[in-house]
Amino acid sequence: MKVAVERREATSGSFDASVSGVLERSEKDVTLPRQLSREDQLTGGALARAWEGREVRGHPKELTVLFRPDGKGRVAVIGLGRRPLRADTIREAAAYAIQKLKGRGVRTVGFRLAAFVGEGVTSEEAARAIAGGAALGGYEFLRYKSSTEGAVEEVVVALGEEHGREEASLRKALDQELVLVESALFTRDLANTPPNVATPEWLAEEARRLGHEHGLKVTVFDEKKLAEMNCGGLLAVGGGSVHPPRLIVLEYPGGSRSGKTVAVVGKGITFDSGGISLKPSAGMWEMKFDKAGACAVLGILKAAATLKVGPRVIGVMACAENLPGGSAYRPSDVVRTHNGKNIEVLDTDAEGRVVLADGLGYVVEKYHPDEVIDLATLTGAALIALGENIAPFVANSDPLASALLAAGAAVGEPLWRLPLTDVHRDMVKSDVADVRNIVEPRIAGVLIGGVFLENFIGESAWAHLDIAGPAYARKATLKWVPAYHPLGATGFGVRLITRYLLDVGR
Ligand code: BES
Ligand code: ZN
Ligand code: ZN
């Protein structure tokens, strides 16, 4: 999908459809809001009649499509729900409109910016939300589809006379927004790729390709190298698969002299069967998404390099396939990790923390980053606690935590912070090794993951994002996730962390 900002009027008749937003009506709003009078004119008064007849009420996910009597395409109105208007609502509405216009012969869409601005949402925020929402919402993973229905091909944020003078500044904002979005879509493509294709070595190839495109240094440690490096966690988890583990490191040198180094570490389990602690077969297929954290790391590096963010960014992908087999690791194994700490494995299905132990241990030893942010589909508990729209996280630094909360809220990838306490730290102590990878009974799963990982982050400020909920959109609950998260991998974390990197570099 092509997305652009133009001076053109959305209602000029040069689009297959114009789209305007409308807030939910209250009882006293008997006549059509004045901002839509142009749209009404073009429908020959049909829009005002639809409003008066309560066909149009401005409810969320209410898309009204009317044909223009002059034959120049359609006028569409999308509900924005109740006041106050928020950028995220616009992002959702744009995504939803694009999805609903699919397969109806609409190839080009002009969003009328003036009909989305106001009520505390600036023209820049609205333009970003429209463009981002349309591109994120219109995404489909089509690599393995032989044919598809006609999707919207071109979206224009139409400034018209109201916002024409802001063209230059809005174009600049949109260029940045589209890099964030394209990087998220790149991550979706990676994470949606099935595990028979997307092996750890395949992810390494993708990293090399990205590095080549953007002039990033990429280092891939294979199983032989990992053995020399004492990365017993990655080797243990990957032991049951014929596709050996990889530790992948990408370096973006940083655009400013401010000198901050941020490490971004992702869980890259290309398939998580649970291993010897085998998962039930129902729904097991979803564990192809267990590499979403590592895929987000690639997307973040792509965006960081394209936008030349201030900080130096080190991307780390801890990749392995977790399968049962003759050489698989087993419950009660003790594995020695890169930083010398030993893990007692009591459940081979708590494998993410075991590979991250090596990924984190390596990056803090080698680069001494100021900050470490890890992204992992770590626990079902994260999904139980906060659902699919919000990711729980833990952090040992208040400034880092608040900056991440703000970035998440700004891009529509919300986070919620949970605590790290000494009681939980005590719970992961092992009887036979330094730490154990599960705690019985299964309580406080997200925190337990957090205090476990804390053993491997050295002196860095650190945040651990458990993205098991929002990393992918599930069919059964699709109607409750934002429309900009269509079915499958969402790329969650890419826009959030890139926003953060842009903001700290300022
Ligand atoms: N990859 C799973 C977590 C997961 C669950 C991600 C649902 C996405 C959706 C992880 O490796 C896992 O199996 N975690 C266990 C941890 C437990 C054994 C401590 C879990 O959540 O049950
Ligand atoms: Zn698992
Ligand atoms: Zn897993």
Q: For residue 448, which atom of ligand 1 is closest to its CA?
A: 19
> How high is the pLDDT of residue 259?
80
Q: For residue 287, which atom of ligand 1 is closest to its CA?
A: 1
> How high is the pLDDT of residue 131?
98
CA 419 from chain centre, in angstroms, equals 23
Angle between helices 352-367 and 445-453 (to 10 degrees): 30
> How high is the pLDDT of residue 258?
65
Query: Cα dist. 338→249, 267, 364, 456 in Å?
Result: 15, 16, 11, 9
- Extract the tokens encoding 216: 């990033």
468 lines ligand 1 (CB under 6 A): yes
Q: Answer for the pair 60, 92: CB distance below 8 angstroms, yes or no.
A: yes
| The architecture CATH gives domain 181-504 | 3-Layer(aba) Sandwich (3.40)
Domain residue limits, the chain: 2-165, 181-504
What's the topology of domain 2-165? Leucine Aminopeptidase, subunit E; domain 1 (3.40.220)
Residue 277 Cα, ligand 2 centroid: separation in angstroms? 9
Residue 298 Cα, ligand 3 centroid: separation in angstroms? 19
> How high is the pLDDT of residue 139?
98
350-394 residue pLDDT tens = 999 999 999 999 999 999 999 999 999 999 999 999 999 999 999
CA 383 from chain centre, in angstroms, equals 15
Judge whether 353 counts as a catalytic residue: yes
Among 38, 267, 291, 353, the active-site one is 353
> How high is the pLDDT of residue 28?
83
Q: Answer for the pair 345, 441: CB distance below 8 angstroms, yes or no.
A: no
Q: Answer for the pair 407, 500: CB distance below 8 angstroms, yes or no.
A: yes
Rounded Cα distance between 344 and 99, Å, is 48
Judge whether 279 counts as a catalytic residue: yes
Residue 285 Cα, ligand 1 centroid: separation in angstroms? 13
Among 279, 330, 336, 474, the active-site one is 279
Those residues of the chain that have pLDDT short of 50 are none
Identify residue 276 by its one-letter amino acid code.
I
> Do the first three CATH levels of 2-165 and 181-504 match, i.e. the same topology?
no
SS3 93: helix
Closest-CA residue, ligand 1 atom 5, reads 380
By most ligand atoms within 8 Å of CB, the mutation choice from 379, 440, 448 for ligand 1 is 379
Please state the pTM of the whole predicted model.
0.98
Rounded Cα distance between 334 and 325, Å, is 18
User: In 136-178, which ranges are E strands?
Assistant: 154-158
Identify residue 292 by its one-letter amino acid code.
A
